[in-house]
Structure 1
Amino acid sequence: MSNRSRAWMMLATAGLAAPAFGQDSVSPFQGVAGSDAVWVWDTGEQCNAFVVDLEPVGTNWGSTFGIAPIYKSSRVQPNFPSALISNHSLSNIRREGVPFPVANYALWNGPGFGINNIVNMETATTSPGGPSFQLGIGMNEFAGQHNGVVAGFINYSMQNPARLFVTRTNAAANATAVMNSPIDYTANPFFSQFGGALPDASGNVYFRADSFGAINQPGRLTGANIFRIDYGSRNCGALNVITDAGGSDVPATDWVLVRNTEYGGAAWNLPTALPEELPSATRPVYLGTNFGTQYAYESAPLILTRNTLHRPGTEDHRGNPTYTHVDFFGGTAGTMGILTRPTPPLPMRTRGISLWGVDTDGNIAGTLLLQRPTMLMDAVSGFMVMEGTPGVTPGLGEFMNYRDQTSARGGAPVAIGRDQQGRLLVAAVVADSLTSTFGSNGTEHNAQDPSNYLAVARLENPAATPQWGLAAYVDIAANGKMIQDAAGVREGQLVPLGLVGGAPLGPSISSPAIDSVGNVWFLAAYQNQDPDGNPEGNPTTGLFRAVYDGSDALAPKYRLEQVLSNGQEIHSPNTGLNYKIIFLSIADNNSIDSGSLFAHNINQLPYGPLALVSVDTADPRTLGGLVIQATIIYDVNNDGQFVKLSGAGGDPNSADQDYNVLLFVGGAFGGEPPVDCNLNGVPDADDIGGNPALDCFDRDAAPVGGFNTRGGPNGVPDACECAADWDRNGTVGSADITSFLASWFNDLQTGQTKADFNCSGTTGSADITAFLNIWFQNLAGNPPFSGCGE
């Protein structure tokens, strides 16, 4: 699986543009039937490539993030414009300095364009070049008989960091279908069901699979299974249907866990993985857990090792595991975490978080058990909550957001990251104790509890005492954490989810995700308020960033910044229209929604090149990328009404169009653009830092003893300073050779290094060769960024 782009490059070398699917696009036709979401079973739409331009959107702090719908779910049913979205993720890290994986990307800037080859108008294409940053994205979608995994690459360069070059590949499907017409398919009974879509940036996406709800038919998948799809090498002309024989696209499919029938045949959690692009990695490695309380890992290719060594001091674990590239235990390939039930189990069971380090084969390398304290305090507001008595008094209860379908369909409830001082940060949501009940397994907390406490532990090292704090909270008695602007003026407050629509009651806060500097991202219900706390408008849901302040030596501190809101209108650069967010999901009818925000929704590196040591934690560039699912409506007729096509209050003949999408949020607009004079996609400072020999010439250097000199480092790559203009007269000609040779011969007599053109530390014949090479290039006007003639 080393070549992640071979399927795309086959199209390019054949002289063909890869087909593209407009994710930030609208159909030129009105009504549900005109939806431009591609049919999942269309074999001409299995691999797509397109441009998505981020729109600058301001927060209540005045920060600016780039936001756009990056993926639209597939068309599955004729009465709905797009499918539903469950678990979705970004790669934990990224690849840097890599070529774009596709030769041609579709590009448009108006309504009706896109590359749904039946519906959309034809678009132009663009062919990016040079090095890029590359992330991976994955999405699990479902509707009717369909359950599928979609994955792809997100690439951008610093020449235009707000322009994303995106691929979208149907990595796996659970059923075939009969085509009634080019815009209508009927699904056959499904063979399998999927959970999760965990990508890395090298082209791998992982998911679990079983046959829950499938009829007894030939090909029905048996037991619990884990698959890894090489989405960079999928056969773009055929579906990859998962049956009891595995994936139909055999070369692109690794069957990691095969037909496991232990624990009821379906009880394996959603997978995570060691990224193939990790500098120390030699291969992609599955990492996961099961209902047998075991940690399972791919100790050799497609060979699993299982044990319970990841959770000493506990009886069991709960929920899906988390992986981060952060090395907490020293000399590891990353850190994992999961909710656990410490010994003894009562009075509250799921009150622990087990952490363990892993090596490049997944072996355990260090462990630590964190136990939820009996008191948590918000170091900013002073709010304090004590441990409660289950079913009797309110207060701190169990860690939550793992119940019901979450372990099979949702995400990881434990977020792990680090701050700029290298201290580990671990975050998870605690439910209130009042709604817990006693059952056969001890305390069982209400998965709809509206009172939630987003707890954060900070540790300097594995032997240190954890410092606990609150990033956010919703408490029925005291309400919730205050939302303030950058100046500290009150603008709102977190509230119980039930105030938004009556049902569901909770949870009110999603699981957290941690960015590159320790900020905590989450979805929550909130109420806008005036500075005196009086309500303004109706409660709704929004995306928040708890901005980290690491200056307090005793506890982590956080202030809330509102990034996005349900009901917000955003301009779409690719369609020229406005769209409105009409749904941000936190809860389903009885627990955390599988399509809500979880720990793996975030990329934990900064956006582009950014030195994290001294940057302000509020700088938008600290966010390398975040995805959340949303329902949006494009105002196609520009009347400001935003009338959806389907669902309650929908009009199937509406001129507007609504879709279920993944919104990408990134730090593309933070700070001043870095200087990149040689246009290689890497800031000049990073170029020089990696190779100081690139900066030896100073155009403004004064002569030494009457002879011109290279001068020395000046922070500008020599390639951009017309270094062949040795006599500094503004032109490149034979006089520069004469001037250089004069300096060179003088160096031989004096032992100086004025003509040390190649920065070797001495002047010699190699410098003449190096100078003449640049002289001929500059004389011919190459490269175009040389600075000659300016």
Structure 2
Amino acid sequence: MNQKARIAALAGMAGLTAGAAAQDSLGSINDAYSTSEQRTAYVLDLVGTTTSWGNVFGVGPLVKSPTVPGSAFANNLISANAVSQTFLNNVAYPSALYALWENELAGGTGPGEINTLIAPPGATGTQFAATFADFGPLGTRYNGVTTAVVNFDPADPARLYITRVQAAVNGPDPSTDNSQFGIGGVDASGNTFMRSDAFGTNGGANALTGNNYFRIDALGRNPAQTNHISAILGDRDLSATAHILQNSPISHTTPTGIPSERDSSRVLIGASFAPVAGAPGEYVRGSSFPPVANTDHINGTGVTDTRGGVTYSPARFIPNSLGTAAILARGPADGNEVFSVAMWDLGPGGSVLRNAVMTRSASAVDPVDPYTPVLPIGRLDGYRSQVAARGGNAPVAIGYNPYGNFGVVAAVSYDSPSVFADDPLNTLLVGHFDPADPTGTVSWVVAGWFDGLQGKPIKDGPGGNVIGRLTTLDVVTGGAPRGPSISAPAIDAAGNIWFVGAAEQFKTDAQGNPFIDNDSILIRAVWDPATGGYELERILEPGFTRTGLNSGVEYTLTFLGIADSNSIDSSTLFSNGVNQSAWNNVNPTDYTNQDPRTVGGVVLAVQLTYLSAVNYQCLLYVGNITPADATGCQADLSGSSDPNDPAYGVPDGVVDAADFFYYLDQFVAGNIAVADLTGSSDPNDPAYGIPDGVIDAADFFYFLDIFVAGCP
């Protein structure tokens, strides 16, 4: 059945007709100030792409940025962006009807050739969210925030049901601005965490003052009004907007938050600069004004100060944890440099349950692709210039590798001693630590590098052929911008590392002539259990061309950035750009660590060129499209019951006594990352199979259920 016939058939079955909120056509994008376009709902069907390792992901423009009246451009430039770090299962679709269209691609509003409203496929589905800030063109004052709440049926993951909300604007029209925005983070319910100030604004008495944190409930927004963030309370959508930090004279970095399903008070977490000269920056958290601000996150660690934003991970390393936070830090032996990462386990209200500091090793090596560095591994960076105020969030990542049962921390070093924010010589460092004792020895490895002559290989499979190498950004750009060459890192549910990196790829043209293609590309560094290192897989690159399944219109990915004119670009990938939960909350160890289901999804600010002529700025989504009923084996945890055996804790494809005794060991030891499996032992309870942060009898009986079920 062709696309038009399929849409018509669905419309007929639903008994629906085309509505006024039809989705997207060339040159027709939502107006951020229009009260008829504050909330729209539409369908996006993902197209497939095959990685250099042969893995298949779905790709699609999740949402396009708005436009402002009178702009000469199709739509606005996207700045910092983020995706939720968790999923919600079995929740109601937030919109009653979604526009299914056939004209141009998703993410805006406008008349369509066929634009039929359809109902969701069921009463409930799985949900996540994404957000971004955007800027109007030169000559305008517009700055806004858009949040998209995304739902899907796990049996049909390639179809996304998107509710797009204009979360905030900074003025009554494009000529006036009363605030400026930085992102930030978002949870799966659509709670959007952002920073705001009035730097460079022209709003006069109506402008905000000082540093401010806001939490906006995107789904709670009143679509009949704009949410104009100014000093005038009546300008705001107050029922959906919490002003958590108000008019502080102290500089603050962009915040994120603890997911509302883990703390119903919807806690915002962020960081400040030093409140007084010589003091360290503070950890700021709260769900209402005034927030708590102190140094609990670094007390007793020897850390003298912190840099950049706070990152949030859903990884739970101790009982009753709500997740884990981390920030770049000056450790006890770092002097005036940033060589360390401070981490802490989160309790209710964002409280600190435990903390630790991890200092990077200057002698870390790549155990997979050995190299000889020209320069010593330098300071940890990615936080300078506009990043503190605008985002992204954050330059450091923390997570968990369930295949090796170790914590993972990742950051990028800038290695030139005399070049700072735009240093093109970078090293991607990854630390492996014991979740039960993060103060212990950290094993550092190098997952990305350039040694002055060549960079780490990109391969066509594990242990495969070299199809390209990392390089420096100036090779891609011709000199400007010159760096950095690696974005901030992000971690998935398998403990793999995602980043955007400058690369030279070895290709052959249509006549069989070899050539080198220099570009910034999306890369996944996949953990190799044999060596403890990482191998590089190309996920997506400029030149990716597809015909939209909803539109029949061809588009090409034409730009994927890393740097702006003098530093890391706020729009590039940061740690909040990858959903760290496994897709649909499946157990990642049911699959190999390169399976697309081990990542909850990636968002990227990109430029798409339609019909080789018209450029649009989009938040692109990359995620799993394999249905939920594909084979997996949740009870397969270990190939041995002997803790001294290398197979201990490594799945072997068989459910046997070794798995039972391994689970029993982890249950008794209180290893929450492995033993916390469920919130209920009742298969009919919605909490069945969803970890709740507590190890109790329900987890043991749940394991017995899946152990008896065995492998498919």
- Structure 2 residue matching 1:500: 3-state secondary structure: helix
The equivalent of 2:500 in structure 1 is: 523
- Structure 2 residue matching 1:123: 3-state secondary structure: strand
Whether contact under 8 Å (1:419, 1:550) holds in the other structure is no
Whether contact under 8 Å (1:113, 1:123) holds in the other structure is no
The equivalent of 1:395 in structure 2 is: 376
Q: Which of residues 446, 457, 462 is equivalent to 2:420?
A: 446
Separation in structure 1 between the aligned mates of residue 314 and residue 105 of structure 2, nearest angstrom = 41
Separation in structure 1 between the aligned mates of residue 225 and residue 17 of structure 2, nearest angstrom = 18
The equivalent of 2:214 in structure 1 is: 227
The equivalent of 1:543 in structure 2 is: 522
User: Match of 1:168, as an amino acid?
Assistant: R
Please list the CA deviations of residues 545-574 of structure 1 after superposition, one character each: whole Å capped at 9, or x if unmatched: 11112344xxx3111110111122123111
Separation in structure 1 between the aligned mates of residue 56 and residue 181 of structure 2, nearest angstrom = 36
Whether 1:251 aligns to 2:234 is no
Displacement after TM superposition at 1:617 (Å):
0.6
Separation in structure 1 between the aligned mates of residue 217 and residue 22 of structure 2, nearest angstrom = 20
The equivalent of 1:559 in structure 2 is: 535
Q: Which of residues 150, 160, 166 is equivalent to 1:164?
A: 160
The equivalent of 1:457 in structure 2 is: 431
| Higher Rg of the two aligned structures | 1
The equivalent of 1:727 in structure 2 is: none
Q: Which of residues 190, 214, 221 is equivalent to 1:203?
A: 190
User: Match of 2:413, as an amino acid?
Assistant: V
- Structure 2 residue matching 1:613: 3-state secondary structure: helix
Separation in structure 2 between the aligned mates of residue 450 and residue 374 of structure 1, nearest angstrom = 18
User: Match of 2:260, as an amino acid?
Assistant: E
Whether 1:473 aligns to 2:449 is yes
Whether contact under 8 Å (2:212, 2:248) holds in the other structure is yes
Structure 2 segments unaligned to the other structure (5+ residues): 1-15, 275-279, 633-676, 686-704
Structure 1 residues 152 and 90: CA distance shift in structure 2, 3 A = same
Separation in structure 1 between the aligned mates of residue 94 and residue 432 of structure 2, nearest angstrom = 39
The equivalent of 1:430 in structure 2 is: 413
Correspondence list, 1:260-299, <5 A: 260-262=248-250, 267-278=251-262, 281-292=263-274, 293-299=280-286
Displacement after TM superposition at 1:463 (Å):
4.0
Structure 1 residues 608 and 41: CA distance shift in structure 2, 3 A = same
Separation in structure 2 between the aligned mates of residue 671 and residue 235 of structure 1, nearest angstrom = 35
Q: Which has the higher contact order (CA 8 A, sep 6+)?
A: 2
The equivalent of 2:487 in structure 1 is: 510
Q: Which of residues 34, 38, 56 is equivalent to 1:46?
A: 38
Separation in structure 2 between the aligned mates of residue 458 and residue 374 of structure 1, nearest angstrom = 15
User: Match of 1:331, as an amino acid?
Assistant: N
- Structure 2 residue matching 1:608: 3-state secondary structure: helix
- Structure 2 residue matching 1:478: 3-state secondary structure: coil
Separation in structure 2 between the aligned mates of residue 17 and residue 382 of structure 1, nearest angstrom = 59
Displacement after TM superposition at 1:513 (Å):
0.6
Please list the CA deviations of residues 762-786 of structure 1 after superposition, one character each: whole Å capped at 9, or x if unmatched: xxxxxxxxxxxxxxxxxxxxxxxxx
Whether contact under 8 Å (1:224, 1:257) holds in the other structure is yes
Whether contact under 8 Å (2:507, 2:517) holds in the other structure is no
- Structure 2 residue matching 1:449: 3-state secondary structure: coil
Separation in structure 1 between the aligned mates of residue 76 and residue 489 of structure 2, nearest angstrom = 25
Displacement after TM superposition at 1:307 (Å):
1.1
Whether 1:93 aligns to 2:86 is yes
Structure 1 residues 216 and 60: CA distance shift in structure 2, 3 A = closer
Structure 1 residues 690 and 234: CA distance shift in structure 2, 3 A = same
Structure 1 residues 340 and 151: CA distance shift in structure 2, 3 A = same
Separation in structure 2 between the aligned mates of residue 530 and residue 634 of structure 1, nearest angstrom = 25
Please list the CA deviations of residues 568-588 of structure 1 after superposition, one character each: whole Å capped at 9, or x if unmatched: 212311111221111101000
> How many aligned positions are there?
607
User: Match of 1:662, as an amino acid?
Assistant: L
Whether contact under 8 Å (1:455, 1:471) holds in the other structure is yes
Structure 1 residues 670 and 548: CA distance shift in structure 2, 3 A = farther
Displacement after TM superposition at 1:21 (Å):
6.1
Whether 1:571 aligns to 2:570 is no
The equivalent of 1:617 in structure 2 is: 593
Whether contact under 8 Å (1:339, 1:354) holds in the other structure is yes
Whether contact under 8 Å (1:112, 1:120) holds in the other structure is no
Whether contact under 8 Å (1:94, 1:605) holds in the other structure is yes
- Structure 2 residue matching 1:242: 3-state secondary structure: coil
Separation in structure 2 between the aligned mates of residue 714 and residue 228 of structure 1, nearest angstrom = 39
Structure 1 residues 296 and 115: CA distance shift in structure 2, 3 A = closer
Structure 1 residues 345 and 514: CA distance shift in structure 2, 3 A = closer
Structure 1 residues 535 and 384: CA distance shift in structure 2, 3 A = farther
Question: What's the TM-score, normalizing by structure 1?
Answer: 0.73
Displacement after TM superposition at 1:290 (Å):
0.7
Whether 1:598 aligns to 2:581 is no
The equivalent of 2:97 in structure 1 is: 104
Separation in structure 2 between the aligned mates of residue 572 and residue 112 of structure 1, nearest angstrom = 6
Structure 1 residues 115 and 342: CA distance shift in structure 2, 3 A = closer
Separation in structure 2 between the aligned mates of residue 584 and residue 505 of structure 1, nearest angstrom = 15
User: Match of 1:282, as an amino acid?
Assistant: S
Structure 1 residues 86 and 307: CA distance shift in structure 2, 3 A = same
User: Match of 1:164, as an amino acid?
Assistant: L
For the aligned residue pairs, the C-alpha RMSD in angstroms reads 2.7
Separation in structure 2 between the aligned mates of residue 500 and residue 46 of structure 1, nearest angstrom = 39
Structure 1 residues 608 and 693: CA distance shift in structure 2, 3 A = closer
Please list the CA deviations of residues 574-632 of structure 1 after superposition, one character each: whole Å capped at 9, or x if unmatched: 11122111110100000000000000011111222532224211111111111001001
Displacement after TM superposition at 1:464 (Å):
3.0
Q: Which of residues 43, 51, 56 is equivalent to 1:64?
A: 56
The equivalent of 1:335 in structure 2 is: 324
Answer with 559-568 or 661-670: which moved more. 661-670
User: Match of 1:253, as an amino acid?
Assistant: T
Q: Which of residues 289, 296, 299 is equivalent to 1:309?
A: 296
Q: Which of residues 47, 58, 77 is equivalent to 1:84?
A: 77
Whether contact under 8 Å (1:20, 1:47) holds in the other structure is no
